[in-house]
Amino acid sequence: MSTKVLSVGGSIVAPEGPDTEFVKKFVAMIKEYLAKNEGEKLILVVGGGGPARIYQKAFRDVANLDLEENVEDADWIGIMATRLNAQFVKACFGDLCKESVVTDPTVAEEFKGSILLAAGWKPGFSTDNDAVLLAQKFNADTVVNLSNIEKVYTDDPRKNPNAKPIDKISWADFRKLVGDEWTPGKNCPFDPIASKKAQSLGLKVICAGGKNLENIKSILEDKDYIGTTIQG
């Protein structure tokens, strides 16, 4: 028996509002995987996505603040969005997820169901970091980070047409790409605080496209996959 951790980007679950067609297919795929792999357990950590960005922007518009001001309040708004998204996904899994949504990864306990849902914890940390802490707690050696990009690039491909996709990269080189600071709503493949912790633990992180369900299944089954492996 093993436990796998998936950091499921909010942009996959709720790009604006909930993507019901995707969630239906995602839930069906996970159920099929668990039925074929008896005893396996999954921890799903869900991000804030569109609801987080919408409410954070609304807060800043009302309070007339820029991105760097009142970070803690903006972070709490994003955290609440992650909890709403996680509760939605938990409900969709029914009896497979017996425990409440985890909101503090440091006190999570062994779970009876096949799936454990987790959400944001506290300001200064993203759900990527929560995924790393849960991997540490449940002795998982890999975190699968699912987002709206299939691979990590050498630069932002939306801004730099010469940016190249990366298949494998060391933690040292990856951290040069993402920097060392986290801000609420920061758009990067795997957040800087989580990256530092993952490197210290010797974790492997796989960054892959969250909409490609066959590819996610290949990752879960330890088959060849499309994505970026960060390790070493």
Per-residue pLDDT tens for 73-111?
988 999 999 999 999 999 999 999 999 999 999 999 889
> Which one-letter amino acid corresponds to residue 185?
G
The DSSP H or E segment spanning 45 is strand 41-46
Question: Is the distance from CB of 152 to CB of 214 less than 8 angstroms?
Answer: no
Against a cut of 0.85, is the pTM above it? yes
Pairing, β 168-169 against β 204-209: unpaired
Q: What is the pLDDT of residues 17-30, one digit of tens each?
A: 999 999 999 999 99
State residue 174's pLDDT score. Answer: 94
Report which DSSP code applies to 162: T
Confidence tier at 157 by pLDDT (50, 70, 90):
confident
State residue 95's pLDDT score. Answer: 94
State residue 158's pLDDT score. Answer: 81
Cβ contacts of residue 31 below 8 Å, gap of 6+? 93, 96
Confidence tier at 149 by pLDDT (50, 70, 90):
confident
